[in-house]
């Protein structure tokens, strides 16, 4: 987990977020923290925010691009009334792991997992699912972020919400010549969203930066 906040302030936030965390989510976080790549886990306060947002908008149809261990999707399942949960990841092992966890814990949500390239799968989904999702969360290949955004705008319903993670990329977005080329894609996307008249958006300092986009038109 990561934060731009001072360590003691962030520790205080965690202290006041953890007590009411669902047991299944806590279990999945503990499992994730045992992995060598646990640093990929979304921050706790962001996981909870997304879950509460799903509850507030009465989410019935959720799409997640970039699943990892599925903590965010799991929390969506526990914060909604049997929402359909569509998952996309390029790693079969990630999809298998969270699917098995849902089965083992008898979660009633309808899980629709897909393995492969996010852009291709989202393009295939347009025919049946255009203008139908309530909430979409993007946390996958940063080089494809602009493509994800453009496709998500077609898949999300009017007044639906798109969430885009890592929009600050460890503050590399401030660099004229970033260490990684994909940061330029993130910078470009941030500018596109800020000037997109079809949406209303807010960039927030959750974790490594989270932008919330509401489709207006």
Per-residue confidence (pLDDT) for residue 4, from 0 to 100: 84
Can you name the residues that pair with 26 across neighbouring β-strands?
Answer: none
| Domains observed in the chain | 7-215 (3.40.50.150)
Going by DSSP bridges, is the β-strand pair 84-89/61-65 parallel, antiparallel, or unpaired?
parallel
In whole angstroms, what is the distance from residue 42 CA to residue 155 CA? 23
What average pLDDT does range 68-83 have in this prediction?
96
- Predicted TM-score (pTM) of this structure: 0.97
Q: How many CB atoms lie within 10 A of CB 170?
A: 15
As a whole number of Å, the CA-based R_g of the chain is: 17
The predicted structure's pLDDT at residue 20? 85
pLDDT at 195: 98
Q: What is the mean pLDDT of the chain?
A: 96
Residue 1 has pLDDT above 70, yes or no: no
Strand pairing class (84-89; 199-204): unpaired
Q: List the beta bridge partners of residue 211.
A: 164, 203
Which band of pLDDT confidence, cut at 50, 70 and 90, is reported for residue 207? confident
Q: Is the pLDDT of residue 19 over 90?
A: no
* Residue 187, pLDDT above cutoff 60: yes
Mean pLDDT of 22-51: 96
How would DSSP label each residue in 34-80? TSTTGGGSPPHHHHHHHHHHHHHTT-SEEEEE--TT-HHHHHHHHHS
Mean pLDDT value across residues 42-50: 95
Q: What is the mean pLDDT of residues 89-99?
A: 98
Spatial separation of the C-alpha atoms in residues 88 and 195, rounded to whole Å: 28
Residue of 171, 51, 43 whose CA lies nearest to 109: 51
């Amino acid at each position: 987990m990561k934060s731009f906040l001072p360590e003691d302030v962030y520790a205080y936030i965690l202290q006041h977020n953890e007590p009411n965390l669902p047991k299944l989510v806590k279990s999945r976080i503990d499992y994730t923290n045992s992995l060598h790549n646990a640093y990929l886990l979304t921050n706790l306060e962001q996981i909870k925010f997304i879950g509460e947002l799903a509850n507030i908008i009465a989410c019935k149809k959720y799409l997640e691009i970039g699943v990892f261990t599925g903590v965010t999707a799991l929390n969506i399942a526990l914060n909604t009334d049997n929402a359909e949960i569509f998952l996309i990841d390029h790693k079969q092992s990630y999809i298998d792991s969270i699917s098995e966890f849902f089965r083992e814990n008898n979660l009633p949500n309808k899980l629709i997992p897909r393995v492969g390239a996010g852009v291709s799968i989202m393009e295939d989904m347009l025919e049946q699912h255009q203008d139908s999702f309530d909430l979409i969360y993007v946390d996958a290949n940063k080089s494809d972020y602009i493509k994800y955004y453009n496709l998500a705008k077609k898949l999300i319903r009017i007044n639906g919400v798109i969430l885009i993670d890592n929009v600050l990329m460890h503050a590399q977005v401030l660099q004229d010549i970033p260490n990684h080329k994909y940061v330029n894609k993130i910078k470009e996307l941030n500018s596109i969203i800020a000037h997109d008249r079809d949406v209303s958006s807010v960039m927030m300092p959750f974790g490594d930066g989270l932008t919330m986009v509401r489709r207006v038109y």
